[in-house]
Amino acid sequence: MAIIAPFRGLTYNFKKLGEISRLTAPPYDVINEREQEEYHNAHPNNVIRLILGKKKSGDSDSDNRYTRSALEMKKWEQEGILVRSERPAMYITAQDYDPGDGKGRRTRWGLITLVRIEEEDSRVILPHEKTFSAHKDDRLKLMRACSAQLSQVFGLYDGSDSIISGCIEEAGRAEPDVSFDFKDGTSHRMWIIEDRGFFKKVTDSMKDKLIFIADGHHRYETSRNFRNLMREKYGKGNGDKAYDYVVMYLADMNDKGLTILPTHRLIKEYKAFNKDEFLKKAGEYFAIEEMPVPEGAGWDRFLEFGRVLEERGRDNSAIGFYCHKSDRCHILSLLPGAMDGEEESLQPSLMKLDVIVLTRLILNNCLGFTKEDLDNDKLIRYVSNMAHSFELVE
């Protein structure tokens, strides 16, 4: 069962600071160096100074990006820039956005709350992505320096009983405590909920649910590592210490405002790669369809490929493949029974995820990548934009 709880969250002093959009930034792992500089310059209290501080040439064990984040955070608390809730709370959020699929703007609702950290084999909180050791080390150093969780893990749950969504909808009728527009075209609202009746309804409803981690695998595993360090220092106790929990943003997977977009994998090097041999091996698991690379310039010539890939993937796992200097794109559609044999190590629901099919059948079986290879972020690059992916391959 998933155990959730309210908490006394630390937030900006919204009344004191005014324009909230200048204080915000995207998750640390999607910010490049240019954007990091822009957010640093946007406002002296922008959250980038906590979640992704700058490196300096003279960094040492006692003075580095993590210790500077901790000092900055302590200073902001002393100056009243950051304030802690007087009472335990849960936080409802609404994000209005256009995912660029031609279907217009939509609203995704979510709940920010504490979730008790589970053991790896508990099958209550389910990850689906490979994590990288370097990223976990980075986040652990920041968490140990600040003694705080600065970014939420993004979790999904099955809210088909509509209990939690009903509570959120009712609470969301009030005026939000926070409202602002971000420069990427998204709009954001947040409600601070301190109602004990609300807490009981949502905590009771979550007890029989699983949580699937949609984003923040490194943050979740780092929180568990931090918890283990604290238990070594202070003892295990009854599992009710602050470090036994992680802050999560939870969204109902049935929410009409939820959009799941792919993250594309770019393999940067592979010794003696042979496209024909790869496709022959992939043919053991996939039906392979090829499309000619359209002539001309500009990424929009690949829109038709993206449309066909989306169509093939509506009821089945479908993976697009494009190789440097190739005149063909390929769509690999999973054959019936191709995932047989994976049941022992995977939940049935996870076997349907494209990312699992990609990792197990293509990266592991067809390309022979080892666990160590998948832990090498110099070998595999992650890109969220399909157009940019094609540009990089070319």
Q: Tell me: the pLDDT tens digits for 288-334?
A: 999 998 777 766 778 888 889 989 998 899 999 999 988 899 999 99
Say what the pTM is.
Answer: 0.79
pLDDT (0 to 100) of residue 260: 79
Task: Give residue 156's pLDDT band: very low, low, confident or very high (50, 70, 90).
Answer: very high
* Higher pLDDT, residue 114 or 345: 114
Q: What is the DSSP letter of 235?
A: -
Burial of 349-364, coded b for 16+ CB within 10 Å and e otherwise, reads eebebbbbbbbbbbbe
Judged by phi (left if over 0) then psi (alpha if -120 to 50, else beta), residue 123 lies in: left
Residue 210 phi/psi, 5-degree rounding, is: -95, 155
CA distance 226 to 219: 10
Burial of 278-314, coded b for 16+ CB within 10 Å and e otherwise, reads bbebbeebbbeeebeeeeeeeeeebeebbebbeebbe
Q: Which percentage of the chain shows pLDDT scores above 90?
A: 63
> What rounded mean pLDDT belongs to the chain?
90
pLDDT (0 to 100) of residue 123: 84
pLDDT (0 to 100) of residue 129: 61
* Higher pLDDT, residue 371 or 249: 249
C-alpha distances out from residue 40 to 18, 47, 52, 113, Å = 18, 9, 9, 28
C-alpha distances out from residue 148 to 2, 18, 296, 299, Å = 22, 24, 51, 42
Give whichever of 172-181, 231-240, 270-279 has the largest mean pLDDT: 172-181
pLDDT (0 to 100) of residue 131: 67
Query: 22-36, 188-202, 247-261, 294-308: lowest mean pLDDT where?
Result: 294-308
Q: What is the mean pLDDT of residues 349-374?
A: 86
Is pLDDT at 349 greater than 90 in this prediction?
Answer: no
Task: Give residue 66's pLDDT band: very low, low, confident or very high (50, 70, 90).
Answer: very high
* Higher pLDDT, residue 72 or 296: 72
Task: Give residue 341's pLDDT band: very low, low, confident or very high (50, 70, 90).
Answer: confident
pLDDT (0 to 100) of residue 299: 67
